[in-house]
Amino acid sequence: MSDALPGAPILDGNWGLEHMAIAIPKGREQALPFVAGFAQEVQASGLVAQIRQQAGLRGAVKAKP
């Protein structure tokens, strides 16, 4: 939004958090290695960062475990 308001200050810190998760149904635990591998792959390949940049999500950070 700040792009639409020239001179608007950007404050340090954050005012809200968006948590994202991938879920699998109960009884389908055999899918967990695939899902974990997929998540690791898209992060390592830079795809997540590319999508974040295309969406204009400045300041997004990966959650600490």
Model pLDDT for residues 19-47, shown as the tens digit of each residue:
778 889 999 999 999 999 999 999 999 99
Q: Over the chain, what is the mean pLDDT? A: 85
d(CA 3, CA 7): 9
Backbone φ and ψ of 48, nearest 5°? -60, -45
**What's the pLDDT at 65?**
66
What's this model's pTM, rounded to 2 decimal places?
Answer: 0.61
d(CA 36, CA 26): 16
Contacts of 22 (CB under 8 A, 6+ apart): 35, 38, 39
Instruction: Describe the crossing of helices 47-54 and 32-44 by its angle, rounded to 10 degrees.
Output: 60
d(CA 43, CA 61): 12
